[in-house]
A and B are shown apart, each in its own frame.
Chain A
């Protein structure tokens, strides 16, 4: 038992591939697994996300929840959703930002310690999506807080969300090596 724990701490972490019987293409799986090394080096094996619903229809939330199910099991990459913005590296915002959520979103953003990243997840975070032009929405997250990365889709599938994280981290790596 102790041997196993020590091996886990000191040894190179091995990523378990996606389970069989679910439709995830091998290319996607390989790309996702390559995410591991980046998270290990940049975020010391720990990337914490705080999800904020700013008026979404709830589909994006369920896709984020699906990321923690045994099929995608995002925790094995060292990524997890946390309960407080104070513990978060990343804010993942969904929804077109309804006016009545604007203040709460701003407060959550301020409560997140720097350096912080903001991911806008879903079509309506870009420009309001189908809700564009309604009196009660602000037509996109960027109108309220600065955004580092968009993940399009209505809703984006769990794999697309992982891919979005991948491209965000990839962007950071390239910015650092320049």
Chain B
């Protein structure tokens, strides 16, 4: 840390965020130093078009140090005419998608990056067009041709595997089940998957640019619609970022409501996911039971908030409803759910044919998970003890008693068991939250948002950590909203986990990760 500090040409501190400006040529060394010696985790990396301030682009890399509630944010400044920066992917593989994203969105080239193909945009999107630049625009014709998808403007070459007996299976974007769109290209030897290349971003909706256009307050609704089943955690992280940027502190009561709903969201997701894994092994009764318990929780959500996906509760500065008024309803529902859930798990773990399918399937090693920056269930099932609720305590998590649940094997069974333990943990967190009384107004008024200020917001979604980084422009309107959903970190590890498995087990592996396409594609 000291070594990096010495090299910094500019430092500032805002809450638990330490911003260090380094020279372009020192950037790689500083990042590697934090990554190797400090064992920091790369949380998010992004660029910002700050040309309206001083004619510069900036690239930020956010690291969090283990055992310390602090973010080290390294950044470099790029002049308008120098359109490249040194890549850190060769040393910190977790950066590879972030850098490709920066290239697509800003046209800043990560020099030395091993894979400079497009990530976000498909073939028909115009070449040298970068939507997050402030002066970007696109013609109607280009838009139409992009939608038609027939004119190839920058071709994408899938990686090819050659050899005797290897054949390709292309799947998607429209799949057989009721799931989101994505294209998968398997290179298989017989039934065994040798290599998988996912081609995602079919649901790219220009979310980050849209955040800039609609304003901070309306952004809450957009954050709720980034990834359907993590609506509440996304909007909580977004609100937290804006609140920290504006320098307001929400009340104890609002914090407790948010914590409670985040845990309710985790609970319905985890139980639903465990049920879904049964759909992957063909255990119909397990799937039906899981879906019934999930439905019970969804209906509780609806009674509490008016939305089955907990939408419309978060606002900047607090929450709209005091959920604690419905204490009895929550308690009795959670009681029923706990009983049903225990029976459900007994059934699953007692079904040998089910458990055998899960064991040793879709194994992800700790090494790969760490190198590629996996987060959430995916990381914890491979033995990485990382949970934002513990690493950077927020809301009322610092006063709650809970543990990080990890497994070491990294297979489908481990991911299911981590979910099972976390679901039980969520139940106990909900009960202990309901025991206490909380004071304070529901909403704190938002004062003026200061010009050119920025802050991070984060929380642990059911899938892993989510990060929002917001920055205001001279009028207090959004200059940049960077969102990093857990699925963006976890998608790159899927090909490593399915290598060596049979093609029919792919849906099972995929279900055990349960990644969001919409959250990843933005």
Contacts and interface: CB of A to CB of B under 8 A. Distances in A.
A14 to B, nearest CB: 21
Contacts of B206: 131, 134-137
A30 interface: no
Interface residues of B, number: 55
Interface stretch (A5-13, A33-41, A94-102): A94-102
A42 B499 CA distance: 48
Interface string B269-298: 000100000000000000010011011101
Interface residues of A, number: 51
Nearest to B181: A53
B209 A135 contact: yes
Given A130-B222, A131-B205, A83 B291 contact: no
B146 interface: yes
Interface string B423-446: 000000000000000000000000
B302 interface: yes
B147 A58 contact: no
Interface in A40-66: 51-66
A157 B149 contact: no
B298 A66 contact: yes
Contacts of A108: 174
B210 A100 contact: no
B517 interface: yes
A83 B176 contact: yes
Contact of A104 (B143, B181, B213, B517): B181
B149 A103 contact: yes
Interface string B204-215: 111101100100
A32 to B, nearest CB: 16
Contact of A69 (B173, B179, B288, B521): B288
B178 interface: yes
A64 to B, nearest CB: 5
B202 A84 contact: no
Contacts of A60: 228
Given A58-B516, A84-B176, A70 B291 contact: yes
Contact of B518 (A57, A65, A103): A57
A61 B147 contact: no
B150 to A, nearest CB: 7
B180 interface: yes
B229 A101 contact: no
Interface string A65-87: 11011110000000001011100
Contacts of B213: 133-134
A129 B311 CA distance: 15
A52 B181 CA distance: 8
5 contacts: A58-B228, A58-B516, A100-B121, A100-B146, A137-B205
